[in-house]
Amino acid sequence: MTGSTQGTATDTEPTAAEKRAVVAKRVESGSADLTEISQLAAAAGYDVVGELTQTRTEDAAFMFGKGKVAELRDLVRRTDATAVIVDNDVGPYQTFNIGGELPEGVEVIDRFTLILEIFGQRANTRKAQLQVELAELRYELPRAEAKASLAKRDERPGFMGLGEYDESVERDIKRQISEIRDELESIAEKEEARREQRRDSGFDLVALAGYTNAGKSTLMRRLAAEIDVDENAERHPDLDTTAESQDMLFTTLGTTTRRAEMEKRDVLLTDTVGFIADLPHWLVESFESTLDSVYRADLVLLVVDASEPVEEMREKLVTSHDTLYERNEAPIVTVFNKVDRLAPGELADKRAALSGVAPDPIAVSAKTGAGVAELRDRVEAELPDWERERLVLPLSDDAMSLVSWVHDHGHVEAETYADDQVTLDFEAKPSIVARARSKAAGLAPAEST
């Protein structure tokens, strides 16, 4: 068994407002990496003051070995930590046992509880709040069921200090889950209607997907106009924050949609909450409503941090593809972002190494703007084909209104006037072409003079 501890002593007592955490992780083999859990802790507002790792098989009672828990207790005391954040899926009884060894008042938080805490802090819309609540309930349900099973087996109301079990708790959780699902389904139906409305207006829908900290929000800022197009009264409220470049996990929770102008097409670009490694199925399912904006897009830009090691990029690409291809039918374009951080020749090496999972990626730097013009061209090339159409219209006020409408909903290549007629050559989505034909058929012929 191996392990390590690291701490920083402090001469002052933490104030009530301070959140000081020791992060800890157990792995079966190899060395534990605390980078991501430390980033998550910072995103939740914690100051990471100490680290502890252990390589060994899981201890049923404490997750870590008993001696390592004693080291954890000493580290907490030295650093005046107010919480221990464990980068493992810690069971309720393991949580209770670890907490019993720590100084009074020190909270034990596992990885998924921390993620839910972050989500709760960033949930500023009704939809986001419902999804967080659903995830919390799904997290609590098996724990309530475990209490029920143990209470029945032991024929006593409490177990290991976890409190008295009430059968109505489990029923109430299931009822709340059902009610939240119904409300989220209602919201999803409204959002789908809004997506179809936008398509009917001539917009193509492009979604940004990828892991947290890949630079999606920065890329959106590069591609999109500074105009929010989400007419929903409960749209994501911190739009400006979402569009800024921040080196932090989960800068935003929810979706932000903006209009992005390409050479010929106008697209609506949607940024969503980023993927994160090792999420359990119940947590992904809780945010299925948010992922609908990715699943139902016309094109997905899968953004990857090109400055990460090749193996980490490969793992994230494979996991992202598994998530997206399960339900998504739209083409996926892989975007290697942050190429400004790469040494000469490094990009070519990574392209070659990852050609199997990213056969034709676009390389960009959202920070500097390098490669963004090529990305715009690729977006237009990958979107569903438009139809070409020629309309010959009589000169009239109604015809001019139609000409203006086609300009707004498609790309006009030529517009000529002769003999009391206007000829319009344009490209547009098939649904727009069909509507233009229908409008043209209803126009009265030009009046002779």
Q: Report yes or no: 113 and 136 within 8 Å, Cβ to Cβ.
A: no
Known binding-site positions for GTP: 210-217, 271-274, 337-340, 365-367
Strand locations in 98-188 (E): 107-110
Q: How far apart are CA 188 and CA 175, in angstroms?
A: 20
Q: Using DSSP, state whether 84 is helix, strand or coil.
A: strand
Residue 68's Cβ-side half-sphere holds a number of Cα atoms within 13 Å equal to 24
Question: Whose structure tokens read 């083409």?
Answer: 331
Numbered residues of the known binding site for Mg(2+): 217, 252
Enumerate the known binding-site residues. Answer: 210-217, 252, 271-274, 337-340, 365-367
Residue 58 vs residues 2, 65, 90, 339, 447: alpha-carbon distances, Å: 13, 8, 10, 40, 87
Q: Exposed/middle/buried for 47, CB within 10 Å: 0-12, 13-18, 19+?
A: middle
E strands present in 237-298: 256-261, 266-271
H-helix or E-strand spanning residue 130: helix 126-154
Tell which phi-psi region holds residue 33, choosing left (phi > 0), alpha (psi between -120 and 50) or beta: beta
Token couple for 99: 């907490």
Distance of alpha carbon 109 from alpha carbon 46, whole angstroms: 12
Residues counted in the chain: 449
Distance CA 164, CA 171 (A): 16
Which CA distances in Å does 216 have to 14, 221, 365, 419?
A: 36, 9, 11, 52
- Distance in angstroms (rounded) separating the CA atoms of residues 207 and 220: 10
**Contact between 105 and 39 (Cβ < 8 Å):** no
